[in-house]
A and B are shown apart, each in its own frame.
Chain A
Amino acid sequence: MAKTTHFGYKEVDIEKKQGLVKGVFDSVAGKYDLMNDVMSMGTHRLWKNYTIASSNVKEGDHVLDIAGGTGDLAIKFRKKVGPKGKVILSDINDSMLFEGRKNLLNHGIIDVDFVQANAESLPFEDNTFDCVSIAFGLRNVTHKDLALKQMHRVLKKGGTLLILEFSKVENQMLEKIYDLYSFNLIPKFGEFFANDEDSYQYLAESIRRHPDQETLKNMVLDAGFEFCEYHNLTGGIVALHKAIKA
């Protein structure tokens, strides 16, 4: 019997998940930034700013932004590392990379490298990066444990891993409101703004299937990181896990 995994609330053949996720992101790539602004009411920008502030990235650093999509983190990292540093934006999805390249060019940035790569098998040497980030990408990865081990491998000693991801809401009242919002309004927004209700239904479901804060912290530690702590943002709707390779 074939092994299965979750794709939103559906159980699918483990081999098929990557293709299904690709379908979602091929479909939403063109409207990705707009939809982020609509769904989070702009708050995703604050979450990302907090992530950058927590990164300790400095001039000359090498940064890998996994599942970097339309490049909003890469733009901010690029400013921090300066001309002596290096930022690589990677994504498994070519449609998202295309949007990312367009977005960076629109910001006048031409020296960020783009790499189409699977987070489960990163094509980089060991101990390469001072910082690895993945924002709203880990929940779409089929084998999260493998991806976390790869992130650990490519980080230098003293390097920082930042995982920004939807998480478990702390407050019960907020959780109820959030559930109503994400299962009723988000798919409708998807239909209205991006003509794609199903992809945004998947988004809402995939958030609920993602490991909660403590579980993810333990997964990060199991991947070899010595330190990991998380900060809940907006009541735990999103959490930033910060880990250090010692």
Chain B
Amino acid sequence: MFRLTIEKSLNHFISANNTDLTHIDNKVVSFRVDEIDLTLFFLCLNSRIFVIDSPQDKKVDVSLITNNASFLAIFKGASLEELLENEDIEINGSVNTAQQLASLLSSSSIDIEELISQYTGDIVAHQLGQAFRQIKKATIKNDSSIISALKDEITTALIAPSRSKFFKGRV
């Protein structure tokens, strides 16, 4: 259901906006989110996106290994370059192809936090999303990098949870 929802949302967006997919036609992009044991393969064919669980014999053009936060950040429009610089993501293959798909994911306004909440069946995604929004707000004021702030916040949450916005009032 998780994959179907993403696939449906993307294709609805593509259809409604007449999105040109020729630059990623016949490409396979994989996303791996280790923390929630999630792997998605995005295949572009016939002007639509298929979200599949296995590429079978088809070559994967680019694979992205992310953590929860960077996976969410991609859907919210973060630049892959910036994520790479901050070592929040690992990309093997064509960065250009990955960026094209990432742009599509962010444009489609998929509520990925909600989907991940359903997928993981817990509140991790919701908390991450909340933290992401707080950081974004703060960094817009300070005009500094959203991703660096997010990275700092995750580090704080892991090392000193009592000081983290994630767990404010919970520990």
A residues within 8 Å of B by Cβ? 53-54, 56, 58-59, 130, 156-160, 221, 226-227, 229, 231, 244, 246
Query: CA–CA, A229 to B50, complex, Å?
Result: 12
Q: Is the CB of A158 within 8 A of B53?
A: no
Can you list 12 contacts pairing A with B, beta carbon distance less than 8 Å?
Answer: A53-B4, A54-B4, A56-B7, A59-B15, A157-B45, A158-B46, A159-B46, A160-B50, A227-B52, A227-B55, A227-B58, A246-B43
Q: Interface size bucket, B side? A: 10 to 19
Contacts of B55 in A (CB 8 A): 227
> Does B35 reach chain A (CB closer than 8 Å)?
no
Query: CA–CA, A119 to B49, complex, Å?
Result: 28
Query: CA–CA, A231 to B5, complex, Å?
Result: 14
Closest to A158 in B: B46
Closest to B15 in A: A58
Partner of A244, one of B15, B43, B47: B43
Give residues 31-51 of B contacting A (CB, 8 Å): 43, 45-48, 50
Contacts of A227 in B (CB 8 A): 43, 50, 52, 54-56, 58
What is the CB-to-nearest-CB distance from A111 to chain B, in angstroms, rounded to a whole number?
Answer: 20
Contacts of A157 in B (CB 8 A): 45-46
Dominant secondary structure at the A interface: strand
Question: Known: A53-B8, A226-B56, A226-B58. Is A130-B46 also a contact (CB below 8 A)?
Answer: yes
What is the CB-to-nearest-CB distance from B50 to chain A, in angstroms, rounded to a whole number?
Answer: 6
Contacts of B45 in A (CB 8 A): 157-158, 244, 246
Closest to B3 in A: A229
What is the CB-to-nearest-CB distance from B104 to chain A, in angstroms, rounded to a whole number?
Answer: 15
What is the CB-to-nearest-CB distance from A42 to chain B, in angstroms, rounded to a whole number?
Answer: 21
Query: CA–CA, A126 to B7, complex, Å?
Result: 27
Closest to B8 in A: A53
Nearest 5 pairs of A and B residues by beta carbon: A158-B46, A158-B45, A58-B15, A56-B11, A56-B48
Closest to A60 in B: B15
Question: Known: A53-B8, A158-B48. Is A226-B15 also a contact (CB below 8 A)?
Answer: no
Query: CA–CA, A87 to B136, complex, Å?
Result: 47
| Proximity string of chain B (51-72) to chain A, C-beta cutoff 8 Å, 1 when within and 0 when not | 0111111100000000000000
Q: Is the CB of A56 within 8 A of B50?
A: yes
What is the CB-to-nearest-CB distance from A11 to chain B, in angstroms, rounded to a whole number?
Answer: 35
Query: CA–CA, A73 to B8, complex, Å?
Result: 18
